[in-house]
Structure 1
Amino acid sequence: MNFIKFPIEKPVTTIMLFVAVVLLGIISWTRLPQELFPSLAYPQISIVTKYEGAGPEESEKLISKLLEETVGTARNIRRVSSVSKEGMSLVICEFRWGTDMNFAALDVREKVDLVKERLPRGAQEPVVLKFNPFQMEAIVMAVSYNYDEFDPWKQVELRQFCKKNLKDELERIDGVAKVEIRGGEQKEILVEIDKGRLLANQLSMLDIIKTLRETNITYPAGTVKEDLYEYTVKTVGEFKYVSDVGDVLLTKDDRQQEQARTSKVMRKESSRRTGGIIYLRDIAEVRESIKDATGRSRYNQRESISLSVFPQSGSNLVTMSKLIRAKLKQLEVKIPKTVNVEIIYDQSDFIKSSLHNIYFDATLGGILSFIIILVFLKDMAAAVIILVALPVSVLAALSMMYFAGISINTMSLGGLALGVGMVVDNSNVVLEGIFAYLQKHPDKSKKEIIYEATSRQVVPVIASTLTLIAIFLPFIFVSGVAGQLFKEMALTITFSMVASIAAALLLVPRLALNLDFDRYRQQDTSMKILDAFPPMLTKFLAAPRSKSWRFLYAYLAIGMILFMFIPKEFMPKLDERRFTLNVTLPPQTTLKVTTDLSKKIENYLFSVPEVKNVIVNIGSSGEDIGSEVESLGMNQARIIARLKKRGRPTDKIVAELGQELKNWRVEQMETEFITQQGLFGSSLGSSAGLTIEVKGNNLVELEKKSTEIKNELAAMPDIFGIKTIPSQLVPELKLDIQRERASLFGLNVQDISATLLAAIKGYVATKFKEKEDEYDIRVRLRPEDRSDLSRMGELTIYSPFGRNIQLAQISELKFVKSLPEIRRIEGQRTYLIMANTGKGFSKAVARVKKAVDNVISPDDNVTAEITGEMLALRESMNSAVFALALAVVIIYMILASQFESLVLPLIVMITIPMGIIGGVYALFFSFNSINSVSMQGMIMLIGLVVNSGIILVDRYKVARIEEPHKDLVELVIECTVERLRPILMTTLTTILGVLPTALAVGSNATAPMAITIMGGETFRLVLTLFFVPSAYLLIESAKQRKTDL
C-alpha cells in the first residue's frame, strides 16, 4: 500500500502536513461560534393579524378560519392551529423537519396575499413570522432606581432613558438582533371627552378622531424653481405644544355632512345648532398622562425595567456578551447615580460553564485513556505517540466542523468528548500491531517492520471505523428535534473518527520511526494479571454449551425485564439552578391583584436559602408584534428564580413551593413550573411535560369534559402544576347590533364598533412629537361617562341624521360568559390541559390515559389525545427503534463484505444484544431514564461493540488460512489470548474516555449516553471474550461435520 510508505519515506513532509492540520484546527477553534445549543431552523411559521375591538369569536370566524383554510395547502405542512383572542388572530403553521423555512415562509406569504382582501375592514395586514424557540434572550438586564419610593413619572423617565441610551446603543452591537423593553411607565396625551358636551354639539367620537388625524400632519407640496435655486415646499401642521391639541377646530365627518344635505330630518335639526366656533378644549380635557399600565416588572422586590437582548441566528454569544459588557462600561458616564443597571442573566455564562465542563471531561478522559495505554505498553515514548494522535484528531475534527458550519455547542463538543476514547483506538491497534510484528520478526529493519505491520492493520482499522461511522447514517432518518440535534453530534464524532484513521495510518508510523526498536525486541510486555485468562477460556470452551450459554440467556432475559421498569422520558432532566413559575388568575383579575400576589410569592422565595435573585414580569408592556404574540395578560405573572450553585436540587425546591402555594388556597389560581429551560423545554412546543388536547366543536361540551379530566388529574399525587387553556370563562357585556334599526338612523356596524372602542378603551388618533420622542394622542370618554356597566345602554352615538341615538335603541345588551381565547387544532376547537409530572413519566402517562378514557367515551362528540412530551417520546422511540434496526442491517452488510461470508458476521453480531442489554443494566442501576439521549447511546453501542468481535473473527480467519491443520479449539484459544491486549486496551480507553462525562449527571446533556456506552462496553467486554470464541467453534464445527458427511 503506497500511502503507507509515504510517512516512512517522507517523514519531514508528513510532520509538516500534520502541523498544518494542527494550525488550521487552532484557527478554526478560535473562529467557531460558541452557543448553548445548535442553531436549528425550527419548522414553524406564525401569522399574526391584529383586529382592534374584535372578540375571540369574531377573530376566529372572520380571520382564523379563512387563513387556516388558505395556508393548509402549503407544501410540506404538517399541522395548522390557531389562537383567536381579543383583538388578534394567531395562526400557527407547523412544517415537517428538514423543510427550507425561507421557501416555506415565502409560500405562506403568497397564500396570505391571495386572501387578505377578504379580511374584514379594520383588520391590519397579516404579519408572517418565522418562529424559533431555541432563540432565547441571551442577556437580561434589570434597570431600577436605588431607592424604594415609587413615582410613576420617574418610571416614565427611566423607560425613556432605557430606550435612548441603552436599547438603541445595544442594538448597534454586532450579533444583536433586537432588545425588548418590559416594565416601566409610558407617557401619552389624553383627550377625555365630556359626553354631554359632545352630544350637545352634535358631534361624534369619529369626528374628533378624524379631525385630529387630519390636523396633525406635515405634507410635502413639491418644489419651486427660482433662478439658480430650487425650493422644497411643504405644509407644516404638526402639534408643537400639548395646548395645540386643545386648540383644534372641530368639524363633522364628510359622510355625515353628505347625508345631512340629503336628509329633510337633518335640515330641520341642523337649524338648532349654534353658529359659534367649537374647539376641542370646549368639550374635552387635554392633558399629559400616563398610559394605563398593562404590565409590571420587578427585580429583587423592587420596581424595575427589564431589557432582554436577543441574538442574531448563528452569532457568537460569548463574543456578543463581551461586547455588551464593554458597551455598558462605556455608557457608565451617561447613567445617573440614582440608577442601577445590572445584568441578571447572561446565557454566555452558562455556555462557558457547560463548555468548560465538557473540555474538562474530554481532557480527563484523554488522561485516563493515556494511563491505560501506558499500563499496557509499559513505555512512556510509545504512550506519548498515542497521546499525540488524540489532539491532532480533535483539531482536525474542529477544522471540518468549521467548514461544515457547525458551531461549538454542548452537542457537538459533547460528541468530541464522547469520542476521546474511540479516537485513540485506531492508533492503539496500529502501534500494538507494530510491536507484535516486531516480536515475531526481530531481524527485519525498522522501516520494513513499520510498513508491513501497518499494512496488515489497514483493513481492520478502516473496517472497524466504518462500522462506527455507519451507525450514524440512521441519524438522518431520526425525526423531530432530537434527530436534528444529534445530527451535529453524529457529524462531529464522524469527523474525529475519519481524522483518527489518518492519524493511525500516517502519523503513528511516522512517530514510530523515532522509537528504539532494539529495546523493544527484548522488552517483556506480558502482564501477569492476564495470565489467568487462558485457563478460564479453556474451561469455558470445554463445558457443554447447553450449560455454559445459560448465563448469556439469563443475562439477556433479566435485561429485557429491567427495560420495562426503567422510567421513560423524552429528554434527560438537567439541573440548571433556576426555575420559572407561571401564575394565572381568573381572566378578569386586575393588575393590582396579580401584583400583590406576586409580591407575596417573592417574599416567600427570599425566605428560601438557595434563592439568589427573583425576576417578576406581570402582564405585558412590549412594543413589537413579537412580544404581543407571547404577551402575558394582566392576570398572569412569570416569576423566574435563580438559585445558588450549591444547595438542594431544584426539583425539591419547586415541590416545596408548589405545596406552599396549595396551602394558600388562592381561588382559581393555576400554577405552572418550568425547571427545564432552553432547548429541552422549548423543543416540546410547550413547557409542560404532559399535554392533553381535547377536541370538538361544541364549546360547552369541551369545557365540561376538560373540567372532568382536570379534576381527575388533580386527584393524582404525582401530577402537579395543572393548567387549562383557555382558562375559565370571562364575564362580558355583549351588544348584538340590530342592523335594520341601525340603518334607519344612518348607522352601520363598523361605525358603531369604532365609536364604542374609542369611547371605552380609547383610540390612538395620531402621534405627538416632542424632540426625538413620539407619544400617542388617545381619545376616549371621561371615566364617569364609561365606567358604569349598568348604564352602558345609555351611551349615545350621534346619527348622521342629526339625532343622538342610545345603544339600547339599536342593540340588545346581554351579560354573558365567554372564553378569553379560542384555540383550534386541525380545524377543531381545542382545550389544552397541561401538567407536570414527578419521576416516572411513563407510569404517570399510563394513569392519565386511563383517566381520560374513563371521562371520554367513543360516543362523545369530543376526542382527547395525549401530546407534549408523550408525543415527542413516542416519535423519538419509534425513530430510535427504526434507527437501531437500520444500523444492524448496515453493520451486517459491512461485515459480510469484509469477511466475504454471510455466516461469520452473525458471530460478530451476537455482541450487539450483549452491549445494548449492558447499557440497560447501567441505566437501571444508575437510576437514569430511557430517553432520546440514552437511545442514541444504544445506537452508538452497535458500532462500538462489534469492534472486538471483528478483531477476533478476523484473526481466527487468518489463522485458519496460515495453519489449516491445527486443532480448532487450540487455535481459537491461542488467537483469543493473542488479541486480548488490544481488545482490553481499546475497550478500556473507550470506557475511561467517557467516564468523566458519565459522572456529570444533571449537568451534562450527554451523560445518559455516556452511561449507556460505559455499561454496554463493560458487559460486552467480558461476554465477548468467552461467547464469540464459543460461537465461532459452534459454527466452524457444524461446517466441518457437514463437510465430513
Structure 2
Amino acid sequence: MKLVNTSVKRPVGVIMIVLAIIALGTVSLRNLNVDLFPKIDLPIAVVATSYEDAAPQEVENLISRPIESSVSSVEGIQTVQSQSQSGSSLVVMMFNNGTDLDQALLNVRESVDQVKGMLPDEAGEPSIMRFSPDQLPVMWVGLTGDQASELTKVADDQIVPFFERQSGVASVTVEGAKEREIQIVLDQSKMQQYGVTAQTITQALNSSNQSASVGDVEKGNKDLQLRVTGEFESVDDIRETIVQTESGGTIHVDELAEVNDTYKKSSGETLVNGESAVVLSIMKKTDANTVEVANNINDSMEELEGELPSDVQSDVIIDTSEYIKMSISSVVQNILIGGIISFLILLLFLKSLRATIVIGLSIPIAIISTFTLMYFTGETLNVLTLGGLALGLGMMVDSSIVILEHIYTYRQRGYSLMESAIKGASELAPAVIASTTTTLVVFLPMVFVEGIASDMFTPLALAVSFSLIASLIVAVTLVPMLSSKLLAKATQESGRRYWFNRVLDRVNNGYRSVLKWVLGHRKTTVFGTLAVIAGSLALTPMIGASFIPSSDQGQLQITVETAPGSSLAHTQDVTEQVSRELEAYDDLLETSYLNVGGSGGGGAPMASSGNQATYMLQLIPASERTKNTDDVVESISDDLSAVPGAEISVTATNSAAGTGDPVQISLKGPEHEVLRELADEVTGTISEVNGVHNATSSAEEGVPQMSINVNSEKAAMYGLTEQQIVSQIQLQFTGQTAAQYREEGDEMNVTLMYPEEERRTISDVENMSIQSESGAAVPLSSLVTLKEVQGPVTLQRENQQPQVNVTSEILDRDLGSVMSDVKQKLNHMSMPEGYSYEIGGQAQDMADSFRDLSIALVFSIFLVYAVMAVQFENFLFPFIIMFSLPATVVGVLGGLFITGLPLSIPAFIGVIMLAGIVVNNSIVLVDYINIVRREGKDRYQAILEAGPSRLRPILMTTLTTILAMVPLGLALGEGAEMQQPLAVTIIFGLTISSIFTLLLIPVVYTLFDDLTAKITRRRKKAE
C-alpha cells in the first residue's frame, strides 16, 4: 500500500505528524467538558402557572384543562401530564425523540397564548420552559451562625452576588432565609372606637408613601424639575402615618396598631448537621463544566472566608463534582492498569522490549487522538467515554500485533528491515482494515436506537470507534516505520524466556491433540456445542434484568411525611425523633442537610407543605466504609420504621437513572376518587412482592379544610359582595400587603394583620365580624355556611384523563424479576369498567431499550457478515465464521451468572460489541486455512497446520483485550459499576468464544466443505 511505503521511507514526516497529534490532543483534553455521565437529551417542556388561594379542583378546571387542550395539538407531543394543587398548575409535555425542542417550545408558546385570555384574571402569567437534568444544583453550601436574620443578610448581600459572578454559575438559590417584613398588627377594639377600617389604613399608607414628578419651573437659564418626595424613610414614618377617622379627625397608625420591624413567619426550617442554617444551592449554566464550576466555587470560598463576619461559618454540604472526580480518577486508574497488563502480555509474547514499545505506542497515540476527535464532536469526558477507552484498550494493539507478526515473518525469511516493513505491512493492511471494520460496523445501528440508551452509550461507541480508527492508522503507518528502524536486534534469537516458549509449545501440542479429536468426532462436537448453548440459555431466568446499574454515590434522601394538615411544629417534633435514630450512623455520615416544610432543594416549581421534611445525607467515600449505599438504605429504613406518626421513605440518589422510579404504575380512569381507592389497593398489593421498597401512591390523603360557602342573598342585604367578604377573611387570617418600604436598596412588604391569638382556632372564624359599607359589624356566621371537609392535595391527569401513579424503589432484586411478579399481582386484580393501568418508569424504558438494542444487534450481525463477504469475495466463508457468534451466548450468560449481575443496557451493548470482536479470530483462522490449502495441502493437514500456527497471534490479541478489561470487570474504584456489566460480558464472551472458535470453526469448515463438494458432484452428474 502507498501509505505504508510513504510512512516507511519518510519517517521524519510521520514523527512530526504524531507530535502534532499529541499536541492537539493535549490541548483538546484541557478543554474537554468533564461530567459524570453524557448529557441526556430529554425532550420535555413545562408550563407552570400560579393561581393563588385556589383549591386543586379549581386549578384543574380553570387552568390545567384549558392549557392541556391547547398544547395537545402541538406536533411531536407524545404525552401531556398535568399536576393541579392548591395555588399552582404544572403541565408537562413529553415529545417524541428527535423532536426539535426549540421549535416545539415556540409552538407551545403560541398555543398557550391563544388560551391565555380564557384563564381567570387572578391567574399568574404562564411560564414556559424546557426541562433538563442540568437544572439540578451542582453544589450546596451551608451558612451557620447565631442569628438566622444575619445569615440571610450575609447570603443575599455578599455571598449570592459573589458566587453568581463566578465562571459557569447560572444562579444561586437561598433556602431557609428570613424575609424582613414590617408588620402592622391591628387592634380591633381601637379601630371600632375610632371608626377606622383596614381599607382606610391601607389607603392612608399608600397615599403617604408616594413620590411623583409634578412639573418644571424656570430658574435663570435652567429648568428645574419639581418632584414631591413622600416615600417612607424610616419605620417611624410608618408609625406616624396619619389616618382619617370616621368623624373627620386624625390619628396615627401606631395608635391603632402595633408596628413591628421583624421577619415574615417562616414556612419551614433548614438544618445542617443539626444546626440552624441558610443553604445556598448553586446551579451551573447548561454548557458549563460541572467540575470547573465546583472548583471555582471552592476557590472563591477561600477568598470569601476573610470577608465574612466572625460568627458566620460556611461549609460545603454536598459537592456533586467530588464523585465525578473520584469516578474519573478510578477509570483513569483502570486504564493505566489495563495498559500495563497489555504491555506485559506483549512483552511476554514478543520477548523484546523494542518490539513491545513499537506496538505499545499504539495505545497512548490512539487515546490522545481520541481526545481530539471527542472535542471536535462535542462529547464530554465522562465515566462512559473513558470507560470506552478502557474497554478498547486491548483492541487498540490488535492491528499492530498482526502487522508486526507479518513483518517478523519476512525478516526471518532474510529480507532487510526496510523490505520486511513495507512487504509485511502492505500485504496485511487490507485484512487488518477489514478486521477493524467488522468491529466498527456493529456501532452503526446504534444511530437508530432512541432514548436513554442512545444518549448514554452513543458517546461510548464513538470513543471506542475513534480509538480503533486511530490505532488502525498507527498500525499501517507508525508501526512499519518504527519496525524498519528499531527491530534489527529484536529479531535475533538470544535464548531468553525459553520457559515461555516451552509453555507455548505445550499449549500448541495440547491444542493439536484436541483439534484432532474434534475433527474425528464432528457430530459429537456440534451437538455438544448445542447442548452447552441450551444449558446456558436455561440460566436466563436466574440472571434477571435491570435498566442501568446504580452507582454507589453515597447520597441518600429521607422523606418524612406526617398526616395531611399537620403543623410545622408537629413535623419538627417527628424529625427530632428521626435525627436521634440517625445518630447511630454518625460514623458513616459526612454531612446531613434537613429541610422541614420547604421544597428541599429539588427545584420543582410546586408548593411545599408543612407536613413534609427532607433529609439529604452524604456518606463517606465508598472506599472508607464496609457497607454500600443500598445496605445503608435498608438498615436506616428498618430503624426508622419504628418512628410513629409519619410515613418515612429512604432512597439512594442515583443520577445515572434519570428516568424516574424503577417501578411506576399509572392508573387511569374518569373519577379521581375511584383512582385514589384503586391506588391504595395497588400499593398494598405490590408491597407484598419481594424486592419492592417504599411503594407509595401519588394520591395523597386529603388535607383537612374548612369550606366557607357565602350566601349571596344575605350578603347583598348588607351591601356586601362575595369578594369583599373573602378579602376581609383573608386579611384576618393571612394578612394583606398594604405598601412597600425601601431601605438601603432593599424592598420589603408592609403587611396588615391581626394578632395571632385572634386567628388561631375555629371559634375565631365563627366569631369573626364583617364590616359592611355603612360601617356596621355583621357576624360572619350569618353570611356563610361553614363545613369541615377533606380537600385533595394534588390532582393529576395524563392525556386529558385523570391519573394516579403508584411508584416504588427496588432492593436486593433485579428490576426484571420484580416487574414480572408485580405484573402477575396486577393481572389478578379486578379493575372497574373504564379504568386501566400502564407500566412506566425504568421498567418501561428498559423494555423499550432492550427492543431497540435487539434490532440493533440483528443489523450489526448482518453488517459484520456483509463486511466479511466483501473481504473474502465469497458468501460461504463468512457464513462459517459467523458460527463463532452463537457460542458467545455461553460466555455472556455464564459470566453474568457467575458474577451475579443482571442483564442490563451496558451488558447488551457488550453483546453488540462482541458481534464485531469475536469474528476477528475466526477470520484469521479461516483465512489461513484457505492459504495453506492453496499451497497444495489437503484439508485435514491444512487445518492441523493453520490452527496451531495461528494460535499465538489469537492468544496475544485475545489476552490483551480480555486482561485489559479485568480492572473494569472487577469494578475497582468509584463509578465503575456502570462499565462492569459491559466488561464482564466481553471478558467471558470473548474467552468462551475464542475456545469455540479454535475448536468448533474447523469442524463447521469441514462440514460445509463436504456439503459444497456433495452439491458440486451432483451438479456434475446432472450435467
Question: Which interval holds the TM-score relative to the shorter structure?
Answer: over 0.9
Partner residue, 1:103: 103
Q: 1:167, CA displacement in angstroms?
A: 1.3
Partner residue, 1:488: 459
Partner residue, 1:80: 80
SS at match of 1:865: strand
Do the aligned residues in 2 keep the contact of 1:471 with 1:943 (CA within 8 Å)?
yes
After the TM superposition, which residues 266-277 of structure 1 pair with which residues of structure 2 at under 5 Å, given as runs? 273-277=246-250
CA distance in 2, matches of 1:168, 1:620: 26
Q: 1:587, CA displacement in angstroms?
A: 2.0
After the TM superposition, which residues 518-667 of structure 1 pair with which residues of structure 2 at under 5 Å, given as runs? 520=491, 527-608=504-585, 610-619=587-596, 627=603, 629=605, 632-644=608-620, 645-664=624-643, 666-667=644-645
For residues 442-491 of structure 1, the C-alpha deviation after alignment (integer angstroms, 9 at most, x for no partner) is: 2x332222112112222222112222221112222222222211111111
Q: 1:1021, CA displacement in angstroms?
A: 1.0
With over 3 angstroms needed to count, the CA separation of the structure-2 counterparts of 1:212 and 1:415, relative to structure 1, is farther
SS at match of 2:648: strand
Query: Which residue, 143, 158, 168 being the options, matches 1:165?
Result: 158
With over 3 angstroms needed to count, the CA separation of the structure-2 counterparts of 1:379 and 1:634, relative to structure 1, is same
CA distance in 2, matches of 1:213, 1:569: 63
SS at match of 1:678: coil
CA distance in 2, matches of 1:728, 1:4: 75
With over 3 angstroms needed to count, the CA separation of the structure-2 counterparts of 1:1031 and 1:753, relative to structure 1, is farther
Query: Which residue, 856, 863, 876 being the options, matches 1:883?
Result: 856
With over 3 angstroms needed to count, the CA separation of the structure-2 counterparts of 1:609 and 1:620, relative to structure 1, is closer
With over 3 angstroms needed to count, the CA separation of the structure-2 counterparts of 1:711 and 1:338, relative to structure 1, is same
Query: Which residue, 816, 839, 845 being the options, matches 2:819?
Result: 845
Say whether residues 1:327 and 2:300 are aligned partners: yes
SS at match of 2:1008: helix
CA distance in 2, matches of 1:909, 1:854: 45
CA distance in 2, matches of 1:79, 1:988: 49
For residues 552-610 of structure 1, the C-alpha deviation after alignment (integer angstroms, 9 at most, x for no partner) is: 11221122111222121111122222311111112211212222222222222222254
CA distance in 1, matches of 2:161, 2:619: 31
After the TM superposition, which residues 836-875 of structure 1 pair with which residues of structure 2 at under 5 Å, given as runs? 836-840=809-813, 841-857=815-831, 859-875=832-848
Do the aligned residues in 2 keep the contact of 1:479 with 1:879 (CA within 8 Å)?
yes
CA distance in 1, matches of 2:196, 2:891: 84
Q: 1:399, CA displacement in angstroms?
A: 0.5
Say whether residues 1:356 and 2:329 are aligned partners: yes
Q: 1:737, CA displacement in angstroms?
A: 3.5
CA distance in 1, matches of 2:599, 2:704: 26
For residues 892-944 of structure 1, the C-alpha deviation after alignment (integer angstroms, 9 at most, x for no partner) is: 22222222223322212222222243111111100111111211111111111
Do the aligned residues in 2 keep the contact of 1:618 with 1:632 (CA within 8 Å)?
no
With over 3 angstroms needed to count, the CA separation of the structure-2 counterparts of 1:762 and 1:888, relative to structure 1, is farther
Partner residue, 2:997: 1024
CA distance in 1, matches of 2:780, 2:631: 57
Partner residue, 1:148: none
Q: CA RMSD in A?
A: 2.6
CA distance in 1, matches of 2:860, 2:218: 80
CA distance in 1, matches of 2:71, 2:357: 62
Do the aligned residues in 2 keep the contact of 1:202 with 1:804 (CA within 8 Å)?
no
CA distance in 2, matches of 1:185, 1:390: 57
CA distance in 2, matches of 1:1025, 1:125: 71
Amino acid at match of 1:140: W
CA distance in 2, matches of 1:958, 1:206: 103
Amino acid at match of 1:846: S
Query: Which residue, 144, 164, 169 being the options, matches 1:176?
Result: 169
SS at match of 2:133: coil
Q: 1:622, CA displacement in angstroms?
A: 7.0
CA distance in 2, matches of 1:762, 1:623: 26
SS at match of 1:767: strand
SS at match of 2:886: helix
SS at match of 2:486: coil
Amino acid at match of 1:496: S
Amino acid at match of 2:961: T
Say whether residues 1:980 and 2:951 are aligned partners: yes
Q: 1:864, CA displacement in angstroms?
A: 2.2
CA distance in 1, matches of 2:633, 2:424: 61
CA distance in 2, matches of 1:27, 1:178: 29
CA distance in 1, matches of 2:1007, 2:76: 52
Amino acid at match of 1:684: T
Do the aligned residues in 1 keep the contact of 2:187 with 2:257 (CA within 8 Å)?
yes
Say whether residues 1:505 and 2:482 are aligned partners: no
Do the aligned residues in 2 keep the contact of 1:170 with 1:176 (CA within 8 Å)?
yes
Partner residue, 2:341: 368
CA distance in 2, matches of 1:111, 1:732: 35
With over 3 angstroms needed to count, the CA separation of the structure-2 counterparts of 1:108 and 1:803, relative to structure 1, is farther
Q: 1:662, CA displacement in angstroms?
A: 1.8
CA distance in 2, matches of 1:933, 1:209: 65
Q: 1:214, CA displacement in angstroms?
A: 5.8
Query: Which residue, 148, 155, 160 being the options, matches 1:155?
Result: 148
Q: 1:551, CA displacement in angstroms?
A: 2.4
For residues 362-395 of structure 1, the C-alpha deviation after alignment (integer angstroms, 9 at most, x for no partner) is: 0110111111111111111000111111100100
For residues 224-243 of structure 1, the C-alpha deviation after alignment (integer angstroms, 9 at most, x for no partner) is: 77666565554433221123
CA distance in 1, matches of 2:202, 2:43: 42
Q: 1:492, CA displacement in angstroms?
A: 1.2
With over 3 angstroms needed to count, the CA separation of the structure-2 counterparts of 1:717 and 1:565, relative to structure 1, is closer
Do the aligned residues in 1 keep the contact of 2:172 with 2:281 (CA within 8 Å)?
yes
CA distance in 2, matches of 1:365, 1:554: 35
Aligned residues: 1006
SS at match of 2:12: helix
Amino acid at match of 2:279: S
With over 3 angstroms needed to count, the CA separation of the structure-2 counterparts of 1:515 and 1:779, relative to structure 1, is same
Partner residue, 1:817: 790
SS at match of 2:900: coil
Deviates more, 1:748-757 or 1:174-183: 748-757
CA distance in 2, matches of 1:631, 1:987: 58
With over 3 angstroms needed to count, the CA separation of the structure-2 counterparts of 1:449 and 1:586, relative to structure 1, is same
CA distance in 2, matches of 1:938, 1:592: 56
CA distance in 2, matches of 1:889, 1:201: 93
Query: Which 5+ residue runs of structure 2 have no aligned equivalent?
Result: 1019-1023
Query: Which 5+ residue runs of structure 1 have no aligned equivalent?
Result: 146-150, 253-272
Partner residue, 2:448: 477
With over 3 angstroms needed to count, the CA separation of the structure-2 counterparts of 1:285 and 1:559, relative to structure 1, is same
Partner residue, 1:697: 670
Do the aligned residues in 2 keep the contact of 1:670 with 1:721 (CA within 8 Å)?
no
For residues 496-551 of structure 1, the C-alpha deviation after alignment (integer angstroms, 9 at most, x for no partner) is: 11111111111111111113346526578963243224523442343232211222
Partner residue, 2:679: 706
After the TM superposition, which residues 954-965 of structure 1 pair with which residues of structure 2 at under 5 Å, given as runs? 954-960=927-933, 962-963=934-935, 965=936
SS at match of 2:314: strand
After the TM superposition, which residues 220-239 of structure 1 pair with which residues of structure 2 at under 5 Å, given as runs? 229=222, 231=224, 234-239=227-232
With over 3 angstroms needed to count, the CA separation of the structure-2 counterparts of 1:765 and 1:883, relative to structure 1, is farther
CA distance in 1, matches of 2:480, 2:388: 27
Partner residue, 2:1021: none
After the TM superposition, which residues 881-920 of structure 1 pair with which residues of structure 2 at under 5 Å, given as runs? 881-920=854-893
Q: 1:861, CA displacement in angstroms?
A: 3.4
Do the aligned residues in 2 keep the contact of 1:584 with 1:671 (CA within 8 Å)?
yes
With over 3 angstroms needed to count, the CA separation of the structure-2 counterparts of 1:503 and 1:632, relative to structure 1, is farther
Amino acid at match of 1:994: M
Do the aligned residues in 2 keep the contact of 1:39 with 1:313 (CA within 8 Å)?
no
CA distance in 1, matches of 2:738, 2:358: 77
SS at match of 1:647: coil
With over 3 angstroms needed to count, the CA separation of the structure-2 counterparts of 1:28 and 1:211, relative to structure 1, is farther
Q: 1:984, CA displacement in angstroms?
A: 1.3
CA distance in 2, matches of 1:709, 1:826: 22
Of all paired residues, the percent bearing the same amino acid is: 29
Partner residue, 2:758: 785
